[in-house]
DNA sequence: CGCCGAGTTGACCATGTTCAAGGTGGGTGG
DNA sequence: CCACCCACCTTGAACATGGTCAACTCGGCG
């Protein structure tokens, strides 16, 4: 039961793109989680706030596992418009790529610590070690699930629903006693939700008026009516 | 060189979420493509127009490879709003899931033929056969890439850019002599782009006025100025 | 204290949606 | 073979949501 949480070596809290329990592919027995090949060849790295970890188009030589902090994965249009695809937190794996180059950029939202893995080394390992393949596969599919839910959000939800969804999602990973601490700016939130900074701000203010949340500080959000919020997030 | 195209057994045309050339993970030598374990255990199935192949929440017992026709993958909100995440065409693999249940629905856009694989059988194979794992991995990552590009589209592009992107993307797979045949309705296009049917219609009409396209029939689009179109799609 | 970046608020505006009416074309049955 | 029908599509006008632009506030820090 608890063994399922150890699919990827990490603190056991759910990643932002929450991996469903039992989401191992193929299904693994508890004893197999001992192998944990991802732990061996990694090197620890630190990134200061807003530092780029890799850019869209760079050769994909490493991939990463979050230890602490928050990282955003984003894409840009030629005119600078930005879409944040995901925020990564402790335990999340990112930078796995189909081709030889990254198709997305990754930047530290705040001071962050990651473990970097040489892609080639892990590829070689993965060819021998089926368990490792499965771990990577599971990480990928979790990311795919998240991307799909995110598309539904971006394409078919209004501003209030978007903000409510974000709060609900982020609360799962960063709520202490009903109060969220935001690692990211309003601009980050806006770019994650496909909105503008002003709309995010207005929506939060309106939610405060409606007693759904309280805003004790700009980076702190207290969830007063979590049920109603979850309801908005539908 | 050419062997790279045979990552998945299929007609060699690029899938809608185009898999980049050389997108094998880990990188495979030409000789290895002989194995092609996906070919063995499949059973051919036909689905009539609008028939559901699987629904969000169903137990994920199979996954599929397109032989002919077009399939849409979509998610729904409780009030019926729909977001189409992808259209699948010959060669595309879909229905790979992280958990034990599908997280998306798949429906035939027109009469379609697919090969179904028992998930358990292939899982078992994949644990032995690293090549197979890699093929699946590559398929997944192609899907992830597509989902990310789609998020950027949904979150940060206007109606004209969206329609132009759709035309450009779909032309790659269904253009004969500069004329696209649409398998899907305007509603499908709208739900793919996060727009309404009226906006899609108006945008196409405007593009016709601007001599970017011609509309000889409702399901036929002639690309008159492909460069300008690609430019709009940025 | 004053500056500066981040956030908020307001007024106006643009894009895309909604609602409603009319057109078109492919298939069916008389 | 033609008429009708129905689903699909187009068009128009009013409307709403969210974006833009600009002013102002707040809080942290030199």
Nearest to B98 among A81, A97, A141 (CB): A141
Regions of chain A short of the pLDDT cut 70: 1-40
Q: Estimate in Å the CA B155 to C1' C12 gap, whole number.
A: 24
Nearest to A77 among B26, B143, B156 (CB): B156
Partners of B103 on chain A (C-beta within 8 Å) are 145, 148-149
- The DSSP element (H or E) to which A133 belongs, if any, is helix A130-156
Q: How far from chain centre, in Å, is Cα A30? A: 26
Q: What is the pLDDT of residues B46-55, one digit of tens each?
A: 999 999 999 9
Q: What is the DSSP string of B139-208?
A: HHHHHHHHHHHHHHHHHH--HHHHHHHHHHHHHHHHEETTEEE--S-HHHHHHHHTS-HHHHHHHHHHHH
pTM, rounded to two decimals: 0.86
Residue-wise pLDDT tens for chain B (234 aa)?
A: 333 433 333 333 333 333 333 333 443 333 334 345 555 578 999 999 999 999 999 999 999 999 999 999 999 999 999 999 999 999 999 998 878 899 999 999 999 999 999 988 888 887 777 778 778 888 888 999 999 999 999 999 999 999 999 999 999 988 788 899 999 999 999 999 999 999 999 999 999 999 999 999 999 999 999 999 999 998
Q: What is the pLDDT of residues A70-103, one digit of tens each?
A: 999 999 999 999 999 999 999 999 998 878 899 9
Partners of B104 on chain A (C-beta within 8 Å) are 148
CA–CA distance, A174 with A219 (Å, rounded to integer): 12
B67 touches strand C (CB under 7 A): no
CA–CA distance, B121 with B117 (Å, rounded to integer): 8
């Amino acid at each position: 039961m608890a063994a399922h949480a150890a699919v990827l070596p990490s603190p056991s809290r759910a990643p932002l793109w929450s991996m469903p329990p039992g989401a191992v592919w193929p299904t693994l027995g508890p004893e197999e989680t001992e192998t944990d090949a991802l732990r061996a060849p990694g090197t620890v790295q630190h990134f200061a706030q807003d530092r780029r970890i890799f850019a869209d188009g760079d050769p994909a030589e490493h991939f990463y596992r979050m230890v602490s902090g928050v990282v955003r994965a984003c894409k840009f249009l030629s005119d600078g418009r930005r879409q944040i695809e995901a925020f990564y937190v402790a335990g999340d794996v990112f930078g796995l790529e189909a081709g030889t180059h990254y198709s997305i950029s990754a930047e530290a939202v705040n001071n962050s610590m990651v473990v970097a893995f040489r892609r080639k080394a892990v590829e070689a390992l993965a060819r021998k070690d089926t368990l490792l393949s499965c771990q990577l596969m599971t990480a990928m599919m979790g990311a795919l699930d998240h991307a799909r839910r995110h598309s539904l959000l971006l394409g078919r939800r209004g501003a209030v629903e978007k903000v409510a969804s974000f709060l609900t999602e982020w609360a799962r990973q960063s709520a202490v006693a009903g109060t969220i601490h935001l690692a990211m700016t309003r601009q980050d939130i806006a770019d994650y939700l496909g909105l503008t900074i002003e709309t995010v701000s207005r929506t939060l203010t309106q939610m405060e008026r409606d007693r759904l949340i309280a805003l004790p500080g700009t980076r702190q959000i207290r969830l007063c009516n979590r049920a109603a919020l979850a309801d908005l997030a539908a």
